Amino acid sequence: MCGGFFVPPGLSAEREINFTLGAQRETTFTLGAQRETTFTLAGVAGLGGRRRARGRRRARGRRRASGHLTRLADVLIGSHVRNDDPLAAAQADGADVVQFFLSNPQSWKKPQPRDDAEALKASSVPLYVHAPYLINVASANNRVRIPSRKILQDTCDAAAEINATAVIVHGGHADDNDMEAGFERWVKALDYLETDVQVYLENTAGGDHAMARHFDTIGRLWDRIGDKGIGFCLDTCHAWAAGEALIDAVDRIKALTGRIDLVHCNDSRDAAGSGADRHANFGTGQIDPDLLVTVVKAAAAPVICETADEGRKDDIAFLREHTKS
């Protein structure tokens, strides 16, 4: 993920996008500029099916802009933006979808109620929330694992208040070097979590004993958690940094997980296999922009550009131009 508080750009009022959800309901979104797009989406099951009766309020009316997505036309492309005015930032970027933090990404403090919550709920822009970076539900350390579970719950609750589509969280790592135990801690974290907002696991760039750095490890983790309603977010910079080939990354991830719900499309400032999570605007880093286009086309999922403010609008325009049908 990119650092700082960001939010994705909003939709304008001339593009029409029709979503068929769960093969039952069709929703029309008006976006930004003369493009008509239709997506067919399978029903998206969140983690709410296992919600325990603990008196928590369930979220209603959640936007479902992802899930198993069949690409019939242009993909939705947006950005990760500052969280002070996400919709304005989205509109400035010319984005279809937006992602942002709801709290300090380097803090355990729970998200605070937002003054713009009603505007966000009423917006037709699909909203994605990135969970704090310090979450590590795979940790053996109680002082890390328990607060991680709590802030993930708090983030999902806050995401429900704005009708967010999903919460994206990094895989973390087994700090006791026991990968199997780390997988089991992930299982317990999802069993404990009570939310109707879907959680997406994101692959990560580096770290020893990481749960989601290398694709083979992601497969092992998915064998444990894939039946718990979790989705998957593929980050191109992270995969590159982990030494995974991007040319067939989508096929390999889908073979392991059966899905890609969101793409974080980012160039990388560092060489393949570096383990460094340093994003770059397209064409300024080490990844061929055409390779990024290949990933986006193959994934057929909404896209978030987590690149620097200066140049991000151009990144979105580039992807839109090269992925349109």
Structure tokens at 19: 């979503």
Query: Is 8 inside a domain boundary?
Result: no
Instruction: Report the number of distinct structural domains present in the chain.
Output: 1
Query: Is 11 inside a domain boundary?
Result: no
Going edge to edge, which strands form the sheet with 16-21?
A: 25-30, 16-21, 36-41, 69-71
pLDDT of 72 higher than 60? no
The CATH number of the domain holding residue 116 is 3.20.20.150
Query: Is 104 inside a domain boundary?
Result: yes
Domain that holds residue 69: 16-53+61-323
Mean pLDDT along residues 114-122: 97
- What pLDDT, in 10s, does the model give residues 184-233? 999 999 999 999 999 999 999 999 999 999 999 999 999 999 999 999 99
Query: Is 6 inside a domain boundary?
Result: no
Q: Please identify which residue in the block is written with the tokens 């690409």.
A: 71
The DSSP code sequence of 38-74 is EEEE-----SGGG--SSSPPPP-S-----SSEEESSP
Query: Is 251 inside a domain boundary?
Result: yes
Classified as helix, coil or strand, 111 is: coil
The CA-based angle 144-179-211, given to 5 degrees, is 70
Question: How much of the chain exceeds pLDDT 90, in percent?
Answer: 77
Q: How far apart are CA 160 and CA 276, in angstroms?
A: 32
Q: What is the mean pLDDT of the chain?
A: 84
Query: Higher-confidence residue: 197 or 36?
Result: 197
Whether the CB-CB separation of 43 and 54 falls below 8 Å is answered with no
- Identify which of 89, 115, 114, 122 has the alpha carbon closest to the alpha carbon of residue 4: 89
Query: Is 5 inside a domain boundary?
Result: no
Of the ranges 63-77, 120-134, 163-177, which one carries the lowest mean pLDDT score? Answer: 63-77
| 198-227 residues labelled b (16+ CB within 10 A) or e (exposed) | bbbbbbbbbbebbbbbbbebbebbbeebbe
Mean pLDDT along residues 99-126: 97
Mean pLDDT along residues 255-272: 99
pLDDT of 283 higher than 50? yes
**What is the pTM for the complete model shown?**
0.81
Query: Is 111 inside a domain boundary?
Result: yes
Query: Is 7 inside a domain boundary?
Result: no
